[in-house]
Amino acid sequence: MKRAVFVFILFIGFFVQAQDVDIYKHQKNSNFNLPDIPAGMTYEEFKTLSTDLRMQDMAMAVVLPGHIHFKIGEKKTGYYLLSARLLGYMGWTYLALSDESLSDIIIKDNLDVGSDVSTGETIVAYGSIALMLGTYLYDWIHGKYKLDNKQNNIRYKYAKQKLRLSLSEIKQNKKIYPALALNIKL
């Protein structure tokens, strides 16, 4: 029986080649598109512009606290999220070591079943849940916002200016006259 299960899993593994689960499919293959890189663009700016957050990153943020912020280069915020989530895990561990489970405390508190739960343990339980869930949501939502903001700033910085109004000079009869120039780049 074990051999049959192993062969089945191996058989499925050869035919299923999913690398990522996407809700929003890309219209083109971004791995083979070689864009024109503007002069002066650094590698970090190019890497930030090429970064996109996928469902795989959302799942990784559940396991690795601060994953999104580390991916977009916000290491300080990533470490804050990591330490806050670890604090939530420590509260969960404290409850487990004190022979109380997180779910038991919440059920007893909400259903008023049993009064043997102390106020301190209730605070630790709700605080742990708030830290674990809050850091995940902050990592995902704020990380997406920061990435979009960084990408928009880079696009704006290197955008081609098609219509430009500037000061100019006109030389006529060996004299220089100030003028306004309207330059159009096609």
Give 60-79 pLDDT, tens digit per residue. 888 899 999 999 999 999 99
pLDDT in tens, 32-44: 566 677 778 888 8
Q: Which pLDDT score is estimated for 55?
A: 84
Residue segments in the chain with a per-residue pLDDT below the cut of 70: 1-2, 6-35, 102-103, 106-117, 160-167, 181-186
Q: Which pLDDT score is estimated for 132?
A: 92
User: Which residues are CB-neighbours of 149 under 8 A, at least 6 positions away?
Assistant: none
pTM: 0.65
Could you give the CA distance from residue 171 to residue 155 in angstroms, rounded to a whole number? 37
Largest CA distance in the chain: 100
**For every residue of the chain, which 3-state class applies, written as one string?**
CHHHHHHHHHHHHHHCCCCCCCCCCCCCCCCCCCCCCCCCCCHHHHHHHHCCCCHHHHHHHHHCCCHHHHHCCCHHHHHHHHHHHHHHHHHHHHHHHCCCCHHHHHHHHHHCCCCCCCHHHHHHHHHHHHHHHHHHHHHHHHHHHHHHHHHHHHHHHHCCCCEEEEEEEEEECCEEEEEEEEEECC
